[in-house]
Amino acid sequence: MRHRERRRGARPVLASSIAAVSVAIAVAAGAEDVGNKPGKSVPAAASARPAAMANAPAAAPEASAGTTDTGSAAMAAYNKALAERRLEASSALTPTTIRERLLEAQELLGAGRRDEVIAHLVRLVESPRFADYAESDEGHAATYALGDALASAGAHDPARGYLKRLLPLSPSDTYARRAVRRLAEIAIDTENIAPILEDLRAVPAAQPPETRGEIAYLNGRARQLGGDPDGAFKFFAEVSVESRFWAQSVYLSGVIEVERGRLKEGENLFCKVADPGRSDKTAPFFADEKFFAVRDLARLALGRVAHEQFRFDDARYYYYLVPQDSERLAEALYESATGRYEKKDYESARELLDELKALGVHHRYEDEAWILSAYLDLARCRFEDADAELKGFIVRYEPVRDAARRLAGDERVLMRLLDASRGRTDAAAEPSGVTPDAARAIAALVRIDAGYGVVSKRLAQLEQEMSGLRGSMGQLDDLTRTLATSGGVRPSSEGLGEGPPNSPARARAEADGIKRQLDALERARAPAADIAAMRASLKQIEASLGPARDAGPGAGSSALPKGADLPGLLQTDRASATEFYAAADAARAKLLEVRTALAKDAVHRLDQRLSRLLRRARLGRIESVLGRKRALEVEVEALAAGVLPQAALDSLEAPRYLKDSEEYWPFEGDDWPDEYVGGEGLN
């Protein structure tokens, strides 16, 4: 259920509510429940782009648009230097050896050893002998595998560089088609679409429908993100039913129609995707899990459109189409119940809420469903029940709201809690300083922006690369030393100390511990002034810790000259590594900042929602008192008019006072004293 009140300008809000879940469909992953308000993400530069750039219209914010350096030149220099020293970089290559190496890479990938796969394939593809086979099937396969592995590691620029090499092949070539698909996935993943569209210009004109669909979808998505719905609509219409993006395109077209206020047209488009007859067996395209996610979204959208037009019965049908195994089931049941409530079909609304409760899972509508349930009781004049429910709501959620507020001030704890929410682990297991109940409730209710997931993923990839880079820097030092000492042994001076990288992390962990102790003292009602003083000092310590970053490895020895020979190349790379580490550390700090802001925003929105619902609960309690008062008034008026209320009439009936196990036999005129104990001898 979203904002549907006509008097509040429901239509535009409906559009945004549908768009809000349009989500990840577009963003290939489809896993995150995201909000993606079209037009909001337009970078300032996008609007100023020349209209002539038909294929690359939008969101090309970043500087990396044209850089797809694979590092081939550096690798070639190494190969040359190695050859000069008669250290061959690779053995003889044949199609069979390439196939064998590809199989090895596949095995490594299966074991999760992605970094090794990349190293393995770089050695193969950048070998001087590989050029002879670059245009063979094996060569294409190796190039694709390397591009794919790099993209999976988050190294999109070199990945694009390798994948681009396959684009000029015949469009019917398997690896050309796979390269287009992988590039499309990178574009959707990063939402940095313009550079990829630029790359895709290399695809020859005679493209199969599948490739045309990929490019048209990317164009549409770019235009939509760039705030040009008309252009996007046109491109989405070009995506044929054979494309894996067909469902996404039709759905997004429907969203655009709804945003324009053309609900009927939007509904027709959603119907195409939501059709119950369309399944993996009947669809002319490969229906993967993303298709089913989009189909559920389309059904929800249909329900919302029908609801918006007051067609509550239609809305119920559409919501009913969301299958039992869908992740959107709770959403559908809750919204359907809201529709029935608005139609005053309280019994059906109650059934739907009971069904929602029977799911027995935590969902993001728990709090709203609770209030709706209480309001249903109010509507059915069950004032005592409603009051009890509302009272329960306040008791349960007021501490949760307060805990959410407290968490907003503690970044690290907040992050851990949100990660538990995203990872679906037990949030109560995280040391958070709030009660386990409140922690679980927050984790269940919080609606995290999709951007949080994107940033978290990028951060994890960057940290992985930084850690790997530390190892590479050590290896470069070893290589330099080996060359300098003609195959000498690594010095054994390294001890087992924690090392500088762990120091700030350890200090932060210590600060967390102190914070938990302070929370415990507060709960134990220790003197507030003392606690406040201690908190102030802790804050000072944290402030000084904040900017402290993990110290990177040293710059290495600069004694060796830079040049084209092997030691020179190693020295150049060592210097570059130090620079890269510093740049990566700065980027990491920025990503952390963005992530913290998103986390705080999520918990702030939760606070707002709970505050609204708590106000609603209090109002509901007033309503319940007024309702009970009115019921009494009606009863008194009836009595004054000589009409006994039903309750009074019932009180005259003897069966009313019987237990379930007892049976009432009415007096029929005959008294048989011997039939009951104590009646003997009585007349």
Partner 1 sequence: MRRSIVSSLLVASSLVLTTLVLGQARGTRPANKPKPKPAVTSTSKESRPETSDDKPKPEDDPYGPSSGAAPASSSAPAAEPSVQRSHASGDGGVRSSPLNPRPEEFPDGGAVATPVDLDKIMGDIAALRARVAAIGDVMFKSRIVLRVETRGDHAKIGKLTINLDDGIVYTAPPGFFADDEITVYDHAVAPGRHVLGVDIERRDDRGETFRTGQHSRVTLDVPENQRLETSIRIDDDSDMGSDFPSSQKGSYDLRVRVRAKARK
Q: Which of residues 387-416 bind partner 1 (CB under 8 A)?
A: 405
Contact 129, 90 (CB under 8 A): yes
269 Cβ contact list (under 8 Å, min separation 6): 250, 251, 253, 254, 257
Does residue number 485 form part of the binding site for partner 1 (CB under 8 A)?
A: no
For partner 1, give the closer residue by CB, 154 or 504.
154
Angstrom distances, CA of residue 352 to CA of 3, 227, 336, 381? 20, 38, 7, 19
16/21 Cα distance (integer angstroms): 9
Taking the complex as a whole, how short is the minimal distance between the CB of residue 537 and partner 1, in angstroms? 24
For partner 1, give the closer residue by CB, 285 or 452.
452
Give the sign of the dihedral formed by CA 628, CA 631, CA 637, CA 641: negative
For partner 1, give the closer residue by CB, 212 or 595.
595
How many residues bind partner 1 (CB under 8 A)? The answer is: 149
Does residue number 638 form part of the binding site for partner 1 (CB under 8 A)?
A: no
Residues 59-98 close enough to bind partner 1 by CB under 8 A: 59, 61-64, 67, 69-71, 74-75, 78, 82, 87-89
402 Cβ contact list (under 8 Å, min separation 6): none
Does residue number 122 form part of the binding site for partner 1 (CB under 8 A)?
A: yes
Give the residue, chosen from 102, 553, 571, 624, that forms a contact with partner 1 under the rule CB under 8 A: 553
Contact 212, 246 (CB under 8 A): no
Neighbours of 626 (CB within 10 A): 12
Does residue number 28 form part of the binding site for partner 1 (CB under 8 A)?
A: no
324/311 Cα distance (integer angstroms): 23
Give the residue, chosen from 14, 15, 29, 36, that forms a contact with partner 1 under the rule CB under 8 A: 36
Residues 289-328 close enough to bind partner 1 by CB under 8 A: 309-313
Does residue number 15 form part of the binding site for partner 1 (CB under 8 A)?
A: no
56/46 Cα distance (integer angstroms): 10
Does residue number 432 form part of the binding site for partner 1 (CB under 8 A)?
A: no
- The angle subtended at Cα 479 by Cα 475 and Cα 484, nearest 5°, is 145
Does residue number 221 form part of the binding site for partner 1 (CB under 8 A)?
A: no
Binding segment toward partner 1, per CB under 8 A, in 133-141, 268-276, 353-361, 496-504: 496-504
Give the residue, chosen from 51, 489, 524, 682, that forms a contact with partner 1 under the rule CB under 8 A: 489
Does residue number 557 form part of the binding site for partner 1 (CB under 8 A)?
A: no
Does residue number 182 form part of the binding site for partner 1 (CB under 8 A)?
A: no
Taking the complex as a whole, how short is the minimal distance between the CB of residue 497 and partner 1, in angstroms? 9
Taking the complex as a whole, how short is the minimal distance between the CB of residue 119 and partner 1, in angstroms? 3
352 Cβ contact list (under 8 Å, min separation 6): 333, 334, 336, 337, 340
Taking the complex as a whole, how short is the minimal distance between the CB of residue 283 and partner 1, in angstroms? 28
Does residue number 267 form part of the binding site for partner 1 (CB under 8 A)?
A: no
Taking the complex as a whole, how short is the minimal distance between the CB of residue 22 and partner 1, in angstroms? 9
Give the residue, chosen from 57, 139, 147, 158, that forms a contact with partner 1 under the rule CB under 8 A: 158
Quote the radius of gyration of the chain (alpha carbons, Å): 34
Taking the complex as a whole, how short is the minimal distance between the CB of residue 633 and partner 1, in angstroms? 15
For partner 1, give the closer residue by CB, 55 or 152.
152
Does residue number 143 form part of the binding site for partner 1 (CB under 8 A)?
A: no
197 Cβ contact list (under 8 Å, min separation 6): 55, 56, 187, 215, 218, 219, 222
Which CB contacts under 8 angstroms, 24+ apart, belong to 85-94? 85/566, 89/123, 89/127, 89/128, 90/123, 90/124, 90/127, 90/128, 90/129, 92/129, 93/124, 93/127, 93/129, 93/130, 93/132, 93/133
| DSSP code per residue over 331-383 | HHHHHHHHHHHHTT-HHHHHHHHHHHHHT-S--TTHHHHHHHHHHHHHHTT-H
350 Cβ contact list (under 8 Å, min separation 6): 373, 376
Give the sign of the dihedral formed by CA 557, CA 563, CA 569, CA 572: positive
Q: 123 exposed, middle or buried (CB, 10 Å; 0-12, 13-18, 19+)?
A: middle
- The angle subtended at Cα 429 by Cα 423 and Cα 434, nearest 5°, is 110
Which tokens belong to 521? Answer: 């003292």
For partner 1, give the closer residue by CB, 246 or 341.
341
625/179 Cα distance (integer angstroms): 67
Does residue number 184 form part of the binding site for partner 1 (CB under 8 A)?
A: no
Does residue number 628 form part of the binding site for partner 1 (CB under 8 A)?
A: no
Does residue number 29 form part of the binding site for partner 1 (CB under 8 A)?
A: no
Residues 352-391 close enough to bind partner 1 by CB under 8 A: 368, 371-372, 375, 379
Taking the complex as a whole, how short is the minimal distance between the CB of residue 180 and partner 1, in angstroms? 20
Residues 559-588 close enough to bind partner 1 by CB under 8 A: 570, 573, 576-577, 580, 583-584, 586-587
Give the residue, chosen from 228, 259, 267, 449, that forms a contact with partner 1 under the rule CB under 8 A: 449
For partner 1, give the closer residue by CB, 591 or 638.
591
Give the residue, chosen from 482, 511, 555, 568, that forms a contact with partner 1 under the rule CB under 8 A: 482
Give the residue, chosen from 455, 512, 515, 518, that forms a contact with partner 1 under the rule CB under 8 A: 455
Give the residue, chosen from 494, 662, 670, 675, that forms a contact with partner 1 under the rule CB under 8 A: 494
Does residue number 152 form part of the binding site for partner 1 (CB under 8 A)?
A: no
Among 473, 452, 491, CA closest to 555: 473
Does residue number 348 form part of the binding site for partner 1 (CB under 8 A)?
A: no
Residues 223-252 close enough to bind partner 1 by CB under 8 A: 225
Does residue number 555 form part of the binding site for partner 1 (CB under 8 A)?
A: no
Does residue number 342 form part of the binding site for partner 1 (CB under 8 A)?
A: yes
Does residue number 525 form part of the binding site for partner 1 (CB under 8 A)?
A: no
Contact 527, 534 (CB under 8 A): no
Among 7, 10, 28, CA closest to 18: 10
Binding segment toward partner 1, per CB under 8 A, in 16-24, 133-141, 238-246, 383-391: 16-24
Give the residue, chosen from 260, 481, 508, 628, that forms a contact with partner 1 under the rule CB under 8 A: 481
